[in-house]
Structure 1
Amino acid sequence: MTKRQTGSSPRARLTPATVVDAALRLLDDEGLEAVTTRAVADRLGVRMNTVLWHVKTKSRLLELMADAIAGTIAYDNLPGEAGERVRELMRRYRQSLLSHRDGAALVTGTYSAEPHTLRFADSLLASLAEHQSTAEASARALYALVYFTLGLTQEEQAMTDIDEARFREAVEAGPYPALRDSQAALANDTFPARFEDGIRRILGAT
């Protein structure tokens, strides 16, 4: 019997979900720059056109990957108080980004209007609506929280000891007195501490 007859063709065996799963494994192993439709096809042992049949373009693949990352966010056991619920949702969002290598860079580069992403945005906005005075304030707080978390987490995932050493050397060598005076505080502030402080400041300032 032929492959067509047995239904065992590569296209028939694959689904968008299996392609995305392979792409996420590639992301974790080699980083965002390595994620291409050809590389995903090689990992799956199929032709690139087979992958494209399921995800159409690389941009679409990245959107689906970003949504899959958002799909790891849990919504059980959230705090009852709106402000604390917002904080916990943002903590879970940050953890979803950190769960994959270059997760924040991937999500930052997409505009994923997909179910998991929209569910998170809807849950966050509903909580903010209980915490803010107007719909406009809630929307602006949502943007501030998400953009802050993406930027901070992207830096967290990209930062190396070499980068930190170069920063210290540049500050010491240049005319940056304010940075020099604050260098100890800047160096001792961890990314989790920066995250918690930033979320508090955004919610307190809106």
Structure 2
Amino acid sequence: MAAKRHNRDDVVRGAFAVLDESGIEAVTLRGVAKRMGLHQNSVTFQVTSKAFLFELMAEVILGELSLDDLPEKPPERIAEVSKRLRLAMLSHRDGGRVIGGTDTADANALAYADVTISAFLEAGVSAVIATRASVALHCLIIGLVEEEQAERPNPRRHHISPDDYPGLAHIGGLLDEDSYTERAAFGIEALINQALLTAEVR
């Protein structure tokens, strides 16, 4: 029986298998080839480079972000798309780092960006603010997801002296107890509201 010929999609699937099993550091052309039982040259032929492989992986993650059944009101639409982006990243190990380390401009990325920017424009903000707020939201979500997915073998166990750090002592364990879901919702709402304030003063 002839050996199965692998295409680019096969390589991307193999890369996700490595990612979900071992994390982003293990996703190399050599690592993917080993996982698939192929020579590295076969993987390189399909994806050219590690950087391009990550772009393809980012496209897949963004493709898992549904843009269907979004709210009619622009602020709610922006918030919902942002929350869906976060969940798409969280569905893969180190998904935040995959998206954060790439600059893809495929149809999935463009569709997601267009929904967000169009909603800001519809809400009455300027093109500059729509661009700035959209990028800020994107970076906020990536950063929070990266932090949420980071492996921390030694959690914080420091005693906070109220004499030295009164503010930190006052909030107690909230730094550890506050969920990333709540942090994301807070940041998304804050950025949207700030952008909308500029529309009100125009």
Amino acid at match of 1:42: K
Q: Distance in 1 between matches of 2:159 and 2:48?
A: 45
Q: Name the stretch that deviates more: 54-63 or 187-196.
A: 187-196
Change (3 A) 1:132 1:138: farther
1:79-110 deviation per Cα after TM superposition (whole angstroms, max 9, x unaligned): 11111011110011000000000000111111
1:5-33 deviation per Cα after TM superposition (whole angstroms, max 9, x unaligned): xxx455xx211111111101110000000
Amino acid at match of 2:19: L
1:175 maps to 164
Amino acid at match of 1:127: A
Q: Distance in 2 between matches of 1:89 and 1:172?
A: 41
Q: Distance in 2 between matches of 1:108 and 1:42?
A: 26
- Equivalent of residue 54 in structure 2, options 56, 62, 73: 62
Q: Give 5+ residue unaligned stretches, structure 2.
A: 196-202
Q: Give 5+ residue unaligned stretches, structure 1.
A: none
Q: Distance in 1 between matches of 2:178 and 2:153?
A: 15
The answer (yes or no) to whether the contact 1:26–1:35 under 8 Å persists in 2 is: yes
The answer (yes or no) to whether the contact 1:132–1:138 under 8 Å persists in 2 is: no
- Equivalent of residue 102 in structure 2, options 110, 114, 135: 110
Deviation of 1:137 (Å): 0.9
1:43-79 deviation per Cα after TM superposition (whole angstroms, max 9, x unaligned): 1111101000010001110111111111101111111
2:148 maps to 156
Change (3 A) 1:19 1:200: same
- Equivalent of residue 194 in structure 1, options 183, 186, 191: 183
Q: Distance in 1 between matches of 2:36 and 2:159?
A: 45
1:205 maps to 194
Q: Distance in 2 between matches of 1:170 and 1:111?
A: 41
**1:78 match: secondary structure:** coil
Structure with more contact order per residue of length (Cα contacts < 8 Å, sep ≥ 6): 2
Amino acid at match of 1:73: L
Q: Distance in 1 between matches of 2:43 and 2:180?
A: 37
Amino acid at match of 1:180: A
The answer (yes or no) to whether the contact 2:89–2:96 under 8 Å persists in 1 is: yes
2:41 maps to 49
Amino acid at match of 1:144: A
Change (3 A) 1:174 1:21: farther
- Root-mean-square deviation (Å): 1.9
Deviation of 1:200 (Å): 0.8
TM-score normalized by the length of structure 2:
0.89
Report the structure, 1 or 2, having the larger helix content. Answer: 1
Q: Name the stretch that deviates more: 174-183 or 89-98.
A: 174-183
Amino acid at match of 1:105: R
Change (3 A) 1:51 1:194: same
The answer (yes or no) to whether the contact 2:162–2:168 under 8 Å persists in 1 is: no
Q: Distance in 1 between matches of 2:162 and 2:28?
A: 41
